[in-house]
Amino acid sequence: MDSMKKILFFDVETTGLDWRVNGIHQLAGEIVINNEVVDFFDLRINPFNGCEIDKRALDVSNTKQSDFKQYRSEEDIYFVLYELLERHVNYKNKKDKFFLAGWRAPEFDVKFLQALFERNAPDGIFSSYFWNNPIDVKVLATQYLLNERADMESFSLAAAAKHLGVEVAESKLHSAAYDAYLSRMVYEIVTR
């Protein structure tokens, strides 16, 4: 089991840009083990008490603060996530972990996910589930499209995916589940 390649493609929608004061309101992704999608998740989160909320961040994902009342607490979602991770990883085995992957994941999404764990989980548990070197799909796509970048209008996830021939549903962009899916599609192309 510990020699399997396990990647958790994920994305977050947040209440702002600073992981120290803002929270996650949507966490979604796909679990890939040995190149096969084995699980999906799309979790809506009522952010932690005291979380700062920037309306501009909510506008990006077409979310209203009143929507949070329908969502489960961050603490409850941590336990849902814990059970999901436990189905695929033995956190006591130091060789059995996920690589976290996503578009700009190390500089943004991973920090928010780690902060969620720090608020809700025992110390050190985050590093028991995830390797400390996440995969940035944007960096991989940059290398793959090095010679074509100058001809591209932008280098957003949607623009790169379209350029690589992935069909993109504009209306689904900025949903964490769809963005995680697009990241996986780009990853599969640029790592063939």
User: How do residues 104-121 score in pLDDT, each as one tens digit?
Assistant: 999 999 999 999 999 999
Which regions in the chain score pLDDT beneath 70?
1-3
pLDDT on residue 124: 87
- β-bridge partners, 31: 8, 39
What is the pTM (predicted TM-score) of this model? 0.95
pLDDT on residue 123: 87
Is 1-192 a CATH 3.90.550.50 domain?
A: no
Domains of the chain by residue range: 1-192
Contacts 24+ apart (CB under 8 A), 172-176: 174/13, 174/60, 174/61, 174/62, 175/13, 175/26, 175/28, 175/61, 176/10, 176/11, 176/12, 176/13, 176/26, 176/27, 176/28, 176/29, 176/42, 176/61
pLDDT on residue 122: 86
Tokens 């909320």 belong to residue:
53
Distance from the Cα of residue 191 to its chain's centroid: 19
